Chain A
Amino acid sequence: MKILVCISKTPDTTSRIAFKDNNTKFDESGIQWIINPYDEWYSLVRAIELKEKDSSVIIHLITVGTVDTEPIIRKALALGGDEAIRVNADSSDSYYIATQIAEIARQGNYDLIFTGKETIDYNGAVIGALVAELVDLPYVSLATKFEVEGTTATITREIEGGEEVNQVQLPMVVSVQKGVAEQRIPNMRGIMAARSKPLKVVEPVSAETLTSCINFELPPAKAGVKLVAADNVAELVRLLHEEAKAI
């Protein structure tokens, strides 16, 4: 079984979000970059678990990004995976990025393509669906459990107020979230091994961009908290009812 795991680089979760050049660009100064948590904790770890059960499983990581994504992909390789592919391109358009991933997916003939449910920066939650349609494969999103037996995948996915169990014949694309695996910390052996794992750099195929980001805004600041004394809970209820009209 061959698995392709999509890896994306995102700002650390504690990053101060600010913009520059007239709010047209994300201000990267002082930003620590991490592997998108959904890609690292769930998608990659689940792929590694499948390989631990069956050593014939091959895991390739893919990222679409410029050379500065390499530390992130090495970090991912330190957790596991056999080799990585970096498509040397940068775009905020998900259609463009998905086209690059689909190209690699077609060439590699993967049985399974894993993505995280979304990235924590652009929150698109869409790459998996785009790739799936581009390569014409079934897609199950928001998986909280993923098992595979022979060529049949059994997936539990989130639905409103519950879950649904699906069965799909491989090959397929799946987006994953919490529940699928438990976060792991890379160890020294993994970090050493990652250094010698192949990291292939390929140039992008030409692709359309259907959207472009014009500028960013920060939300307006809150007016400030109204504190109510702990022995006057009735006043809070009055405020919520009469002022906020929330209850």
Chain B
Amino acid sequence: MSVLILIDHSEGQIKKSSFEALSYGAAVAQQLNVSAQALLLGTVTNNLSDLGKYGVSKIFQVADETLNAFDAQVYAQVIAESAQLLNATVIVVAQNQTGKAVAGRVSVLLKAGLVTGAIALPDTSNGFVVKKSVFSNKAFANVAIHSAIKIIALNPNSYSVVPTEGTATVELLSIKPKEAKVKIVSVNKISGEVPLTEAEIVVSGGRGLKGPENWGIVEDLAKVLHAATACSRPVADTHWRPHHEHVGQTGFQIAPNLYIAIGISGAIQHLAGVNRSKTIVVINKDPEAPFFKAADYGIVGDAFEVVPQLTAEIKKLKG
């Protein structure tokens, strides 16, 4: 019996959400008194034995290069076969782009109950109950898994990485991936930007900024904070900013450590995408803006005056 954690990667690098999954899976294993093992499909440049720091003792690798290109069907087959071979009873994946495509397929292959969007360790005192986010972060549901094998897809930024002491050993698994039916034609990464869903800090702008030409102050602030930039829906709809920055109920749902909202009113649909952020700062000239009710810190003021000052003060702090 073991907890098996999927190590997800892109361009040779392990994703941040996978480190969270490793820490989470290690904690689940400890809770169940079984071993925590990780599974890597394809190859990465990270030092694998270092992953022991996240609480896993053993890493199984299917080192087939074809697995560096993602096809949900192939991944699911390899994960399911590995899980059976290793007698895994709990499988943990990050609820990221890979997890969303693959967890359901593995669930079918193993007849394993799946909870997606988990935000806390399972309650194993009476059965196996996982807390997940529902109603676009406006509530949580406690979901019981009844099957022998259980799959948890962990929401990004929901579980802190807990580094421990230790190194992991790597063992190769010889599983033959089936032929991929999805052909990757091109990959287009927006270079130099922090990916929104993985960002620790997000600086977000709304219609209060009046037009795309005014986004310089948002970008400057984001730069000093190494933050990702985001926006409200009307801002993306009017093409002031690209679609991939749209957060909210119908955009990305994010949970950074710090969310700074500039000139955003705080409509319920917007809040649904950001209210799991640990700390929320609102800058709005209207003291009645609903966003202040959901904020931790706020400044009632004109963004065009406040934001450049904020950038300057943070620069000072960072020396």
Contact = CB atoms under 8 A, between A and B. Distances in A.
A128 B115 CA distance: 15
A144 B244 CA distance: 9
B100 A210 contact: no
Interface in A147-203: 154, 157-169, 175, 178-179
A163 B186 CA distance: 9
B141 to A, nearest CB: 5
Interface stretch (A45-53, A70-78, A103-111, A118-126): A118-126
Interface stretch (B25-33, B69-77, B161-169, B210-218): B69-77
B249 A161 contact: no
Nearest to A179: B243
Contacts of A17: 135, 138-139
Contact of A129 (B102, B197, B268): B102
Contacts of B71: 138
Contacts of A121: 134-135
Nearest to A135: B108
Interface stretch (B35-43, B52-60, B81-89, B300-308): B300-308
Contacts of B5: none
A241 B279 CA distance: 11
Contacts of A58: none
Interface residues of A, number: 80
B296 A159 contact: no
Given A160-B15, A208-B111, A233-B313, A126 B186 contact: no
A162 B188 CA distance: 6
Contact of A225 (B111, B138, B297): B297
Contacts of B15: 160
B282 A225 contact: yes
Contact of B100 (A94, A120, A129, A216): A129
Interface in B100-118: 100-105, 107-109, 111-117
B66 interface: no
Nearest to B138: A17
B10 to A, nearest CB: 6
Interface in A71-127: 94-95, 98, 117, 120-127
Given A160-B10, A162-B187, A225-B293, A124 B117 contact: yes
B90 interface: no
A120 B107 CA distance: 22
A162 B147 CA distance: 36
Given A98-B104, A210-B114, A158 B139 contact: no
A164 B244 CA distance: 13
A216 B134 contact: yes
A225 B296 contact: yes
A132 B298 contact: no
Interface of A: 11, 13-14, 17, 19, 37-38, 41, 94-95, 98, 117, 120-130, 132-134, 137-142, 144, 154, 157-169, 175, 178-179, 208-219, 222-223, 225-230, 233-234, 236-237, 239-241, 244, 246-247
19 contacts: A17-B139, A94-B114, A120-B135, A123-B116, A126-B107, A138-B71, A140-B182, A154-B185, A158-B244, A162-B188, A164-B187, A166-B182, A167-B185, A210-B146, A217-B140, A219-B137, A225-B297, A227-B292, A237-B313
